[in-house]
Amino acid sequence: MALPVRPLPPEVLDQPHLRPHSDTIVTFPQRTQPPLALRRVYRVTQGLTLLLSGTTLLLYAGTVWGEMHWQKQYSYYLQLQQQRLELTTMTATLEHHLVESGGRGVVQTPAQTLFIAPAPPRASRPVPSPQVRSWPLGGY
């Protein structure tokens, strides 16, 4: 049965032949409580859903934090590489400058040289050789 698109006017509804079942009242069944097992299953699934959702959010937050930490460390690594390159270039430039100037930057004199006396020779000690056992270990 198709429902009308718009409600019928009151003069049509007042005709007795259009409402033949108006004297009967349809009663719907009362709503009953679901069984105890279903309620427990519902509560358990609610708890599991919350637990899994929380775990998923924590894993996602950990992944995002790890990615941000990795990105910060990687940019620090690139910065250190750049500084190393600059220091290597600067060292090579200074060495080249010293070679061209003939090493005249620091004049070495015998008064500035340190002489260290060698240590006295040590007496050689014999190294004990391990004893070879004639029977097998473990009592066999």
Mean pLDDT of 64-76: 96
User: What's the pLDDT band for 110 if we cut at 50, 70, 90?
Assistant: confident
Listed in order, strand segments (DSSP E) in the chain are none
User: What's the pLDDT band for 57 if we cut at 50, 70, 90?
Assistant: very high
Mean pLDDT of 99-122: 76
Task: Write down the pLDDT at residue 32.
Answer: 81
pTM, entire model: 0.41
What CA–CA distance (Å, rounded) separates 124 from 81? 49
Task: Write down the pLDDT at residue 83.
Answer: 96
Of 24, 26, 42, nearest to 34 (Cα)? 42
Structure tokens at 43: 């509560």
User: What's the pLDDT band for 35 if we cut at 50, 70, 90?
Assistant: confident
**Is the confidence at residue 70, as pLDDT, over 80?**
yes
Residue located via tokens 């637990």: 51
The full DSSP string for 48-114 is HHHHHHHHHHHHHHHHHHHHHHHHHHHHHHHHHHHHHHHHHHHHHHHHHHHHHTTTTTS---GGG--
Task: Write down the pLDDT at residue 104.
Answer: 61
User: What's the pLDDT band for 59 if we cut at 50, 70, 90?
Assistant: very high
Of these ranges, 8-12, 52-56, 124-128, the one predicted with the greatest mean pLDDT is: 52-56
Contact 13, 19 (CB under 8 A): yes
Structure tokens at 78: 């690139």
Contact 12, 18 (CB under 8 A): yes
Task: Write down the pLDDT at residue 4.
Answer: 53
User: What's the pLDDT band for 88 if we cut at 50, 70, 90?
Assistant: very high
